[in-house]
Amino acid sequence: MKSIKVLGPGCKRCEATADMVRAEAQKLGVAIDLEKVTDYAAIAGFGIASTPGIVIDGKVVHAGGLPKPEDVAKWLAA
């Protein structure tokens, strides 16, 4: 099971990113544990200044703007 954190204040882009991660994981049949991190100090702790951010298994894979679905699929499959 992959541990995924979506970092952001809860804006529409952050929600869309979380939905995209769920949808791509379901398509790929990858089990995920998705957590939304909204605390600014926690977000800054990952070195992210622009949201939304995505952290997979402790590694920052994306920051700022909506990711592309094909990129999310690639990150989940890795």
- What pLDDT is attached to residue 64? 95
pTM greater than the 0.85 cutoff: yes
Integer Rg of the chain from CA: 11
- What pLDDT is attached to residue 52? 97
Taking the C-alpha atoms of residue 73 and residue 44, their distance in angstroms, rounded to an integer, is 25
Domains in the chain, CATH or no CATH each:
2-73 (3.40.30.10)
- What pLDDT is attached to residue 56? 97
- What angle is formed at CA 57 by the lines to CA 30 and CA 52, rounded to 5 degrees? 90
The segments of the chain whose pLDDT lies below 50 read: none
